[in-house]
């Protein structure tokens, strides 16, 4: 506090907001092997097309299916004489698939009967056969900005509440805000059970998908002048 009875107070407030994810991004790849480059490349194209047609048949739009990789390579092994031996060729392609509107009214993943993500993925894997690989998935919320608005409001209220408590004990009042800085974190997964019923695909059950919750958080540093 300065000699003219004017001082400042600085507080850090934190806030977070969470929601059930409504977008899933899945990495699907095809990896084939054959005796010639042409055969491996053709087989990869056929398998990838089967996966894409399956996805489109399940309502996935073309804009949500993108090719993210394409490879052709020679397959070799080391012989007893410490020499490389050509044993064939491999060809592959990778797809990034975005599944939207994946949550039902109850906040859980849609079931197979509702065209849920578990069924869509299972159908694509079945269509591509043994050459298909899944490279993992990510869950997120389409309207992240709405989550941030809620998180910011909570962080502000937190900072103000602490500042008012201290200035009240000091017999002072909050004056104008001098400075505000923000530190955003997220989105991050938060544990929450949300089990999706397994869907049938070719007689085999689809792997269950749990949506959980996606959380965004922020912290702010606010400095007020004391009245």
Residues 66-125 have pLDDT tens digits of: 998 899 999 998 888 788 889 999 999 999 999 998 876 665 666 555 568 888 999 999
| Cα–Cα distance for residue pair 155/110, rounded to 1 Å | 33
| Cα–Cα distance for residue pair 90/103, rounded to 1 Å | 38
Residue of 97, 124, 106 whose CA lies nearest to 199: 124
For the cut 50, the answer to whether the pLDDT of residue 143 exceeds it is: yes
Token pair for 64: 């949500």
| Largest CA-CA distance found in the chain, in angstroms, rounded | 89
pLDDT of residue 12: 97
Q: Which CATH superfamily is domain 23-140 in?
A: Protein of unknown function (DUF541), domain 2 (3.30.70.2970)
pLDDT of residue 160: 97
What mean pLDDT is predicted for residues 166-171? 94
For the cut 60, the answer to whether the pLDDT of residue 195 exceeds it is: no
Whole-prediction pTM value?
A: 0.69
Residues 14-72 have pLDDT tens digits of: 999 998 888 999 999 999 999 999 999 999 999 999 999 999 999 999 999 999 889 99
- Residue 61 per-residue DSSP state: -
Strands 84-100, 23-34: pairing is antiparallel
CATH number of 8-19+144-226: 3.30.110.170
What are the angstrom distances between the C-alpha of 51 and each of 37, 45, 135, 145, 211? 21, 10, 14, 33, 23
Instruction: Give the residue carrying structure tokens 């959980």.
Output: 212
Ranges of each domain in the chain: 8-19+144-226, 23-140
Residue 25 backbone zone (phi > 0: left; psi -120 to 50: alpha; other: beta): beta
Cβ proximity of 70 and 44 under 8 Å? no
| Cα–Cα distance for residue pair 42/214, rounded to 1 Å | 40
pLDDT of residue 189: 52
Cβ proximity of 131 and 43 under 8 Å? yes
Token pair for 44: 């990869």
User: Which segments of 20-64 are extended strands (E)?
Assistant: 23-34
């Amino acid at each position: 506090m300065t000699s003219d009875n004017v001082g400042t107070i600085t507080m850090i407030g934190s806030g977070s907001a969470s929601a059930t994810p409504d977008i899933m991004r899945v990495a699907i790849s095809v990896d084939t092997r054959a005796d010639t480059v042409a055969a491996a490349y053709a087989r990869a194209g056929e398998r990838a097309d089967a996966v894409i047609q399956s996805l489109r048949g399940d309502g996935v739009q073309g804009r949500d299916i993108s090719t993210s990789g394409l490879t052709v390579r020679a397959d070799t092994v080391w012989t007893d004489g410490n020499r490389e031996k050509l044993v064939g060729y491999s060809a592959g392609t990778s797809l990034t698939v975005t599944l939207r509107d994946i949550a039902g009214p109850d906040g859980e993943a849609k079931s197979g009967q509702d065209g849920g993500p578990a069924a869509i993925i299972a159908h694509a894997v079945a269509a591509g056969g043994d050459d298909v690989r899944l490279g993992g998935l990510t869950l997120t919320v389409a309207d992240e900005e709405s989550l941030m608005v809620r998180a910011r409001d909570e962080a502000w209220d937190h900072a103000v509440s602490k500042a008012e408590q201290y200035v009240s004990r000091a017999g002072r009042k909050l004056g104008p805000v001098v400075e505000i800085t923000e530190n955003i974190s997220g989105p991050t997964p938060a544990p929450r059970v949300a089990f999706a019923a397994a869907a049938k695909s070719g007689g085999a059950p689809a792997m269950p998908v749990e949506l959980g919750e996606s959380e965004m958080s922020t912290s702010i540093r606010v400095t007020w002048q004391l009245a």
